[in-house]
Amino acid sequence: MASNPAADRAFRRELLYYVDALAATVTLRPERSDPSAHHHDAVDRQRAVAAAWVYMSCVAAWAEDHQLVRPLLRGSPDGLTRTTASGTVWLGRAFEQLACHPATQWLMHPAYQPALWAGTPSPAACTALIDWWANDAPSLAYPTTETAPGSITGWPIGDLLPVLHDDRRARNALVQTPYWVADLILDETLVPAVNEFRHERLMRTIDPACGTGHFLIRAVDYLWQWWTTGTITSAVTTRPPLTGGAVIPAEQAALRILASVDGVELDPLTAPVARFRMTIYLGHLLTVSGVLPGPLRLDRIRHAITPRIAVGDSLLIGLVSRSEYQRLHPSLAALPGAAFPLDDFAWPPESPATA
């Protein structure tokens, strides 16, 4: 799929077909349904529910394609048969597997993805979606090429989120950065910074609008190279490799990366996708380096592998007081597990009017 644009377009059309198919069957939960709302509002909410379910099936299928979890969509593990459960229940089981790590649990949290909990597609519609994943849908796994990132980086699920977005993400202008653009920018920023501060223990970086984590993943690649080989090879520029770095054990390199690469994202669902991707990718790097036993499984990744990706408004954090931030973003301020502020962060003082 990564190298076949026509197949990728056809795949995305199929996903949107299943969004429509599920939306037509969604039963909205009473506590999230407004009886006085207009019909088109209910239709919009049903489509948002369907998009959430279809997107989570993409994440689950991607995880299964990389053997991170049991194959509930791509097949049935020993001792489990799908005929014993409705399609809705079976999809729920596939989704639950993604939340077994402290860094990935937020994908399923109702405060982060309320549409997932706002209604339920019919068992028959869910069964049709499962059958498509099991029999016809293409694999979401593909290898790394000389320049392009492999699918284990989570690039497919990052790119699919805006395809299946709801209106809120459209308003937030979630646009995915092509890998070659991310590489070019990092070649011109991170690589010179590593050269200048090569003797520093950490290389503190932050993406203030990290989206699903494309820049974060590529920054992980660059810093992993630097700390495990002492070299960074630029991906898209002609400059010679940066050399002469002090090589450290892979496990220490992962911990340095976790302390160096931070992100902030305004959208409560997009940030957990970035956390999920970075957790998996660091687990992958530790597995191929022999630190973690293979094969890589989500439930075997150490809980210490928890990236610092916050949910918040990076244009305001640090500039306004806590009470002003809560007034402007009450839902974000109350969000559990938002990971911001960090332990070393101090809010600006309250103004006399709000103190």
Q: Using CA atoms, how far apart are residues 265 and 208, in angstroms rounded to an integer?
A: 7
Q: Using CA atoms, how far apart are residues 264 and 212, in angstroms rounded to an integer?
A: 10
Q: Using CA atoms, how far apart are residues 2 and 155, in angstroms rounded to an integer?
A: 10
- In terms of DSSP H, where are the helices of the chain? 5-23, 39-65, 87-96, 114-117, 123-135, 155-163, 167-171, 179-188, 190-196, 214-229, 250-260, 270-288, 322-328, 330-333
- Residue 151's nearest CA partner among 61, 257, 41 is 61
- Angle, alpha carbons 144-257-98 (nearest 5°): 65
* DSSP category for residue 235: S
Q: Using CA atoms, how far apart are residues 219 and 121, in angstroms rounded to an integer?
A: 39
- Residue 63's nearest CA partner among 142, 140, 2, 143 is 140
17 Cβ contact list (under 8 Å, min separation 6): none
Dig out the tokens for 214 from the structure.
């494309």
Query: Cis before residue 295, ω within 30 degrees of 0?
Result: yes
Entry pTM:
0.91
326 Cβ contact list (under 8 Å, min separation 6): 333, 334
212 Cβ contact list (under 8 Å, min separation 6): 154, 157, 158, 159, 161, 174, 176, 270, 273, 274, 277
Hunting for tokens 């992958």 — which residue is that? 284
pLDDT in tens, the chain (355 residues): 566 788 999 999 999 999 999 999 999 998 644 444 455 589 999 999 999 999 999 999 999 999 999 999 998 665 556 665 689 999 999 999 999 999 999 999 999 999 999 999 999 999 999 999 999 999 999 988 776 789 999 999 999 998 887 555 445 545 678 888 899 999 999 999 999 999 999 999 999 999 999 999 999 999 999 999 999 998 777 788 999 999 999 999 999 999 999 999 999 999 999 999 999 999 999 999 999 998 999 999 999 999 999 999 999 988 899 899 999 999 998 899 887 556 667 888 987 765 5
Q: Using CA atoms, how far apart are residues 109 and 291, in angstroms rounded to an integer?
A: 30
162 Cβ contact list (under 8 Å, min separation 6): 169, 174, 175, 176
Phi, psi of 222 (to 5 degrees): -65, -45
Hunting for tokens 């954090």 — which residue is that? 317
* pLDDT tens digits, 70-114: 999 998 665 556 665 689 999 999 999 999 999 999 999 999 999
Q: Using CA atoms, how far apart are residues 171 and 166, in angstroms rounded to an integer?
A: 9
Q: Using CA atoms, how far apart are residues 67 and 346, in angstroms rounded to an integer?
A: 42
Dig out the tokens for 181 from the structure.
């653009």
